[in-house]
Structure 1
Amino acid sequence: MKKTIFVSVMLVVCMWISALWAEVPGTVSDPAGQALEKNPATADAVLAGDDKADPVDKETSPQKSTVAKKPPVSGINFGDPYIMSLDGTVSVAKATVFTIRAVGGVSGVARSEYRIDGGQWTAYEPFTIAAEGAHLIEYRSVDNGGNVEQIRSLPVYVDLAPPVTTLFVGAKKIEAGSPFLITRSSTITLTATDDFTGVDAIEYRIDGGPWRAYAPFTVSAKGGHTIGFRSRDKVGNLEDEKTVTAGSDKIPPKTVISVGGLQYAEAMGPLYATAGTPFILTVAESISGVSRTEYSIDEGPWTAYAPFIIEREGAHRIAYRSIDRAANVETAHIISVTVDSTPPQTMLYGADQELESGGSLAGDKELNFTLRASDKMSPLKGTEYRVNDGPWTPYAPFGFTDEGEYRIQYRSTDSAGNMETAHSFTAIVDKTPPVSEITIDLPKRDVDGVTHINGTTTLMPKASDNLAGVDKMEYRIVGKGDERYTTPFSIQTRGEYRIEYQAVDKVGNLEPAKTLVVVVDDTLPAVDTPDGKPVEEVDGVKKHIFKFDEKSALAATAGVGVAPAPAVAVAAQSAKDGAVPLKWSPNDQVLSDDFAAERKDPAVNRDEPGSYGARSASLRVGGAGARSDTLSTLEYVTFGFINIVLILGVMLL
């Protein structure tokens, strides 16, 4: 019995210890359960709210209301011009104004409103309708008691189209703008149509005279006459004037000339054209029809017309005319034209000098520019410029004050239409001095903020400037005279030296002088460290030098070192000097600093710190918190105790 109790107790103790090892720290709460937890206070608040929902205001209840509910009455008025059809539709013009007036209502009219074609209701004020076609105006009013009038409506038609008038000579229709033959017995009639409100009046005039109410009429057959005519509809839309030319068969044609697509008129003054400008002749009027049109250049022979150009530069005379089918010869027209195929030339000026296209100008303050253009044959039409590919701007003097680089383009055009190829120029405003430095090559080392070098170290002066560019950089060794230098240098004599240096850019911005202190020490070892810092410390971390196949490498006293493989790590410093020994590692493995170097002695197989051998070591892989492949002391003791307890228990049984 005692044995059984002892075994049971031992088993319980073992299970308890096993449970301690298997226990996972922390607990998991049940968020779902927590979400289901009720809040009585909140529930009461909701219930209280429900009890008070939808209150009834007994004071404003309809049963207690004493305000009359008779709404106002509205009416709509429309001004001139308008016309009302038999079906009640009102036809109006774009200018017709609509007004609404409301009366009645015990409490007085609060507002009136309207909408068009079912749109949004709009607070009333006199209005018009601009869109042509049929529309429905709806309107209503509201009194101060809130009584809303039943919606009223008015259909309207907005007529914006004027009538169309046609001229006839006898039964022949004459197109507007066309000439026609008449006799003393020729009767001229006009007809007009309007698809909406109808024609209200037709009128005509002769040779620009006063307008007359239409009735069939005749004109004299002597000479030519211009007849104008038009109509008006019933809402005031007036047709634009149309004209025709009437005359006998004794009237010659009339020819006009266009230069480069623009019809010439004497008021235009001198004509200018390029070698590619087309000249076009058009017969504007001819009673009996055109037989032919012809032209002559510089009093040469008459040539049957086709569009033509004049290639030779200089002044020229062009004569042109037409002949109709009744052999009426038009009196020749003569114009002078200058052919110019050479574009203007534009020059840029700045800093009191002429600036070459494609060049640049830099300054340390405001830069101002002007343009001057010239043309040998035709007057200038205009000069323009733009900056940094922006829009072209008509020329006026311009400048720049803000620091930066500016690309200026400029060009001119003459009256003949010749456009100059755009020129380009760069302006630079630079107010910032350059930045200089002296870089120090290896060998070097930094000791307490001072760079130590030896006689083989090269010091390289450098400078940069983002805008105007560096003009020069110079240095001098303080205490060695005022002579200044610009080229790379080295110092052979031991000692401490103070070097003063500065740079100036191409517009004279001078950098403040800088100084550099170096110590020349011929005992400095020529160690090729990556950044020239002392081998004892790099970036604040203690480092030590090792040799991998006679090549320098750095290893940290804390962290890892990388050994190129195959290679044997040989300490450059002994262990007593604080060197961190590394073991040989194939395949570029990362070696932790907690490995001691090994040496395999043929006579005595032992390991000593600071000695080196060829046996490889296992690496412990993993970061912080990773479980080790070996057991700790506590683990050994615990599992040993469990085994002893189990053995004693079995023996007692």
Structure 2
Amino acid sequence: MEIKKLLLFVTSLVMYTTIAAQEMPKYEMQPYRDSINKLYWNKHQEVFISLSTTKDGKKENLESEISSEYDNPFFFDTEGLNFIRSHWAVDKNTKKPIVPQKELLWEVYADGKAPFTKSSFSAVPKFFTSDKQIYGKDLTIALSAKDAVSGVQITNYSLNGAAYIQYNKPIILDKEGKYSLKYFSVDNVGNIEEFTGKTFYIDITPPVTNSTISGVNIEKGNIISLQTKIYFNPTDEVSGVAKTFYSVDGGKQILYNGKNISLIALKDGEHIIKFYSVDKVQNKEDVQIFEFYLDRTAPITASDILGDRFIVGEQIYFSGRTKLKLTAVDNKSGVKDVLYSVDGGGFIPYADPFYLPSKQGLHIVKYYAIDNTQNVTKGEDLGTNYKEFKLNVDKIYVDLTGPSLNHSILGNKFYARDTVFIGPKTKIKLVAKDGESGLNYISYSIDNIQKETKYDEPFSVDVSSGLHKIEYFGYDNVNNRNVGQFLIFMDNEGPVINYKFSIVNIGKQNGLEVYPSYASMFITIQDQLTGVTKIYYSLNGKPEVLYRNYIKGFQKNKVNTLKVRAFDKLNNITIMEIKFYIK
């Protein structure tokens, strides 16, 4: 008697819809098999069962005699694991129930619940009102979705009413304005999440602050009196102004309280008020400057810096190339003489901008002016026919040396005698210190390229394999420079993989070499520069294992696939796939 095989088929009806621009895309319900061949079914999808004696033969629909009202189609009742059952399993050879008896089960995972998607806004400054959410610059939005059964197939989003697109990396928003974000996810069997919508604003524009002068103000030279009042008027169009700060003559910053700025403590002469505002998402306005002359009579003097300089608080740094310029003004009788002294020396007449002594360290410059009516301040008798005039004092540090430099190699590296080998992912860290005016920046150049690249963080080197020179430069805040250099050998090539069977092939089949089942395979790797570390392999899709001596245990009467990964000492990788037939 001929015995026929009986095969069972599970089918369903699916619906297709088109995607319209600026509408949520429609996805069909569909079965899904994962990487380990588990079958997932949409719980809302119809199920039909049919039988066949062969995989590709004629199918006969299965109909229930006792439950016809729930059949053709039927639906899976349980979220997650479901079973299609045959009462007892039958031996494929004897065609008799196996002993001990065992129920025959076909597993199907039903999924009727849509994924859940959440959004994460990056940690930028923000400000919320009852009806607005406002974020500062450099905002990125990450979407993450989870599905309990079949897994997430796709996440889509729409920005400002545009057509939905697939999400595959954080959304970067770098323009100011109002934003409307919608997003949803679909699982692998076609369950569609209801979209989530969020509306928010991005504010990247700093406030604008204007100064207002009330009272005496001679516009030519901004000459004002103690009765003059100075106000600030800040505005911000999106998030609004949070605070306004100001400082007078390089002094400490003061929080502006909305009232006029007090001038009573200021001395006669030139003054600078620096001011700026910050909005509620921390956009900071560029510092605004209001320069004025407060006329309280008597001559005044001022210094100007020609060349390299750096100011931190009240400390001024010069380089050896910097000159100091002195200026005196008087709004009454005019200036007669300007005199200055360096490091306690005698006062001499000022004629032109001058260099400070070429000695590294702190220097004291004193200078004063005498007007034509001999206005003087109270002071001790200098032993001359006039008393000491009002002095200005500048404490200036002359910085003649550049920063000290150092470097280190981060990540994969290999030393052979006096040569350091690095890989494409290895990073180079540059360090510079300056104990005087302080470090301004570090730059570097590769292989004598004239243009320098500014250093911000450890960097990898995108060069060909071989020996390369790294030069790096440290600049302090008065433009003194030091130079360092070192050599690296770039190795960006993985090792060479070779393999050999323990026996010669016994033929070919469909272009593949054929070996007997008792054959073993040996793998060797070779690296031209740094040497090798390890080999991993995966046979016929099994989990990857570490290669030790030889490989055996191939599957008979089929094509075997061996995937090999080899690493050198810099973690460069070579991957090879080998296919062959085992008799």
The TM-score, its normalising length taken from structure 1, stands at 0.30
Report which of the two structures shows the higher radius of gyration computed on alpha carbons.
1
Name the structure with the higher strand share.
Answer: 2
The TM-score, its normalising length taken from structure 2, stands at 0.33
